[in-house]
């Protein structure tokens, strides 16, 4: 069948009972993407509801500090504050076309839950969001947001009470309720066709960025940098440049407290292949073969796996993957606040923190695009704690 694998990665590693549901979804998705009316409606919501296109902003002060001409793709300015809404709206439009009346979603930090609750309210669908008990405690503000938007937040008590466990619970519920329920996955992960579908709804980032950089500079960028959790903002900003071999692409994972401490979320650092959430991919594994808990100061990067296309792009060398620590990301965050007057999400700050390393070998004639995947309002508590521990601003 179509596009189920990215080299040796991807696939549909799910229980037999879920296969008819995946086949139904795969068929509906491939029909819908051929329909120009679907994309016309999608573009309408992207423009008038999300506020696209998002600006490609020339960061003058940042450029002066690091050398090359640095542009920020401002996904932080989207409605609900990040790139995730592009995908939630796309998937919920598909759910409607399939005649589903309910959606479910998993969420860790709550950002995908909020984006999905928002899109469900917009399209009049019932929404249930699965969230680990520990995450609900840490992200009380987003729990409130989802409830205000009309969603039911289901508290998950299993494993470590976090994202991985919420995802397992969402998959179980989906297998049971698939008749009227659509599962909205929040990153470029999961069994086929999800990675491909999420990419299709996030590729608008690179379509815009390419047009914008050609207008502003008359040429393609030297390099593009994005943070990688499951990999949706990264695959979105890479998509339209993958065939432009002269454009170097960089994905930055969370090294947490440092790769050597074992407390990190850099699924591609050790190149362990395994199966998680219906896909074969690189993931964090203990020596006994069990999935290891991911750690990052950033709740949105705190995922033990990575989307299968990234695993493939890593293996083929088309994209270079590296990682930065909590401290490097937090210092880059504080720097962007002061230099450009923009408070970025901690996730996005991992891409910013890669600039010193990347720009060492570049000149002022080079062009770099950093995907600013989201805004940092949601992170102010974490940032305040970090500032306290470091002894002030």
Residues annotated as catalytic are 84, 106, 373
Sole binder of ligand PLP in the list 105, 247, 345, 369 (CB under 6 A): 345
Please choose, out of 89-97, 121-129, 159-167, 228-236, the segment that lies near ligand PLP by the rule CB under 6 A: 228-236
Sole binder of ligand PLP in the list 68, 256, 278, 300 (CB under 6 A): 300
343: its two tokens: 């408070």
CA separation (Å) from 199 to 4, 139, 145, 189, 234? 14, 27, 26, 10, 9
- The interface with ligand PLP within residues 179-198 (CB under 6 A) comprises 187
Within the chain, where are the H helices? 19-32, 36-45, 60-66, 84-97, 111-123, 133-138, 140-148, 163-177, 194-202, 204-217, 232-238, 308-316, 326-340, 346-352, 355-359, 380-390
Sole binder of ligand PLP in the list 227, 276, 297, 330 (CB under 6 A): 227
Residue closer to ligand PLP, measured from CB, 143 or 345: 345
Q: Per rule CB under 6 A, is residue 105 in the interface with ligand PLP?
A: no
Residue closer to ligand PLP, measured from CB, 12 or 80: 80
Q: Per rule CB under 6 A, is residue 67 in the interface with ligand PLP?
A: no
Q: Per rule CB under 6 A, is residue 72 in the interface with ligand PLP?
A: no
Q: Per rule CB under 6 A, is residue 206 in the interface with ligand PLP?
A: no
Lookup result for tokens 């990190």? 264
Cα angle value 39/244/42 (rounded, 5°)? 10
Residue 132, judged by CB atoms within 10 A of its CB (0-12, 13-18, 19+), counts as buried
CB of 298 to ligand PLP, least distance (A): 8
CB of 164 to ligand PLP, least distance (A): 14
Beta bridge partners of 70: 368
Please choose, out of 16-24, 227-235, 273-281, 334-342, the segment that lies near ligand PLP by the rule CB under 6 A: 227-235
Verify cis geometry, omega within 30 degrees of 0, for the bond prior to 151: no
Residue closer to ligand PLP, measured from CB, 131 or 234: 234
Sole binder of ligand PLP in the list 52, 74, 84, 100 (CB under 6 A): 84
Cα distance between residue 167 and residue 159, in whole Å:
11
CB 42 within 8 A of CB 93: yes
By CB under 6 A, name the binding residues for ligand PLP.
82, 84, 111, 187, 227-234, 300-301, 345, 347-348, 373-374
């Amino acid at each position: 069948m179509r596009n189920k694998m990215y080299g040796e990665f991807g696939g549909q590693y799910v229980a037999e009972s879920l296969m008819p549901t995946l086949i139904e979804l795969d068929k509906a998705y491939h029909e819908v993407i051929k329909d120009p009316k679907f994309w016309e409606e999608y573009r309408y919501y992207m423009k008038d509801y999300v506020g696209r296109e998002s600006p490609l902003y020339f960061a003058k002060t940042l450029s002066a500090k690091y050398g090359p001409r640095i542009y920020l793709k401002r996904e932080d300015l989207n409605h609900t504050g990040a790139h995730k809404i592009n995908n939630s709206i796309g998937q919920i439009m598909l759910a409607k076309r399939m005649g589903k009346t309910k959606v479910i979603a998993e969420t860790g930090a709550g950002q995908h839950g909020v984006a999905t609750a928002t899109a469900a309210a917009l399209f009049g669908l019932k929404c249930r969001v699965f969230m680990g008990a520990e995450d609900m405690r840490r992200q009380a503000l987003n729990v409130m947001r989802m409830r205000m938007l009309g969603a039911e937040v289901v508290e998950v008590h299993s494993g470590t009470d976090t994202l991985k466990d919420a995802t397992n619970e969402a998959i179980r519920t989906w297998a049971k309720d698939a008749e009227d329920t659509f599962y909205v996955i929040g990153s470029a992960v999961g069994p086929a066709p999800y990675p491909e579908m999420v990419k299709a709804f996030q590729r608008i980032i690179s379509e815009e960025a390419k047009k914008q950089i050609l207008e502003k500079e008359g040429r393609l960028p030297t390099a593009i940098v994005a943070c990688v959790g499951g990999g949706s903002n990264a695959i979105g900003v890479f998509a339209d440049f993958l065939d432009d071999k002269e454009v170097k692409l960089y994905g930055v994972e969370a090294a947490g407290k440092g790769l050597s401490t074992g407390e990190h979320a850099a699924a591609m650092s050790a190149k362990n292949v395994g199966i998680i959430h219906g896909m074969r991919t690189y993931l964090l594994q203990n020596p006994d073969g069990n999935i290891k808990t991911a750690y990052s100061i950033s709740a949105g990067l705190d995922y033990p796996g990575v989307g299968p296309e990234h695993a493939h792009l890593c293996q083929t060398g088309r994209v270079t993957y590296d990682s930065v620590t909590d401290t490097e990301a937090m210092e880059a965050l504080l720097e962007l606040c002061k230099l450009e007057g923009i408070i970025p999400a901690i996730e996005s700050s991992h891409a910013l923190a890669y600039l010193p390393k990347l720009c060492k070998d570049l000149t002022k004639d080079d062009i770099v695009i950093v995907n600013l995947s989201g805004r940092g309002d949601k992170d102010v508590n974490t940032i305040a704690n970090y500032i306290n521990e470091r002894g002030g601003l």
